[in-house]
Structure 1
Amino acid sequence: MSEVAGHPADRGGAAVPVRRLTVLYDPKCPLCTRVHDWLVRQRQLVPLELLPVATAETRARFPGLDHEATLREITVIGDSGQLYTGHAAWVVCLWALADYRPMAHRFTSPAGAPLARAAVLAAARYRARTRDPDESPEGLGGCTVASG
């Protein structure tokens, strides 16, 4: 986890509770849109705001963020500027949901972390198979597979 440059982080970093999360998603990716639709239907303990990646609004709100990287892997930003990517982003989304918080805690344990990483890798493979081959990996709709 790191902080997003250009985003206010004046509440003390990790010692401050997360009160809101912004989830960046690719609206042209079939998996991203399914996850988006699922997330908005869930009861949220921590409010989730879902924003499309690489838009003018997203770039303006998070000027220090690597917006090209957000096209390659899930990115979640906490209200104090915390930055979650990859499996940590998936886990923090689950943590924000009433019915999935216990599962998120299990995914942060030594036994659960490899399962969370495996799930993210499986999702990346699915994204790679469902991505429109005519879309540029660098452009909106790229949603390419992150290595690792």
Structure 2
Amino acid sequence: MKINEKIKLLEVYYDGGCGMCRRFMRWYREQEHAVEVVILAYDSDEARERFPEIGDHEPSKLMVTRTDDGAVFRGAESWALCLWAIQKYRWLARRMASPVMLPLAQKICVLVAANRLKISKLLFGADDKKLAAEIEKLDAEECEDGSCHLEDEKE
């Protein structure tokens, strides 16, 4: 992925119903951005008005970003753009977007996105030992095809 260094505006569409996503966006809003950034829950009225085709990009599965030139990105590419928009993380964004790192970043994004509600519950509703135990149970080879999921909590 080549990041267009001429981007002046980045729209970020996230899952407003996910605690982890909301916390990330709260942190993200507080950062000093090198470009204008608009952050919207993908299912909000404002998001649908601003970007009527948002649903075509399956924002419920992976984070979606759109640039001022109309380019749309999902998953790891979206994360790379979000980092790039923060001046002090541009070095990390360029590394993440490199041909070597992007496939790994994409796998991580798919894993996190597929399990974000459970991770959110674990991170913000349980202790670190429980989260570590759940992550240890994941089989890395199963994640290659995006089918890895954290176990449902037994009630």
TM-score by length of 2: 0.68
Whole-angstrom distance in 2 between the partners of 1:125 and 1:56: 24
SS at match of 1:50: strand
1:46 and 2:35 matched: yes
Whole-angstrom distance in 2 between the partners of 1:61 and 1:121: 26
Match of 2:55 in 1: 66
RMSD: 2.6
- Return the index of the structure with the highest Cα Rg: 2
Q: How many correspondences in the alignment?
A: 122
Please list every run of 5 or more consecutive structure 2 residues that lacks an aligned counterpart in the other structure.
122-144, 147-155
Higher helix share: 2
Whole-angstrom distance in 2 between the partners of 1:121 and 1:86: 7
1:69-127: per-residue Cα shift (whole Å, max 9, x none)? 11221001111211010110011101111111001111122322233224313422540
Please list every run of 5 or more consecutive structure 1 residues that lacks an aligned counterpart in the other structure.
2-13, 133-146
Whole-angstrom distance in 1 between the partners of 2:57 and 2:48: 11
* Bigger shift: residues 37-46 or 67-76: 67-76
TM-score by length of 1: 0.70
Match of 1:90 in 2: 79
Match of 1:57 in 2: 46
The runs of 4+ residues in structure 1 deviating greater than 4 Å are none
Which has the bigger relative contact order, CA under 8 A and spacing at least 6?
1
Whole-angstrom distance in 1 between the partners of 2:97 and 2:80: 8
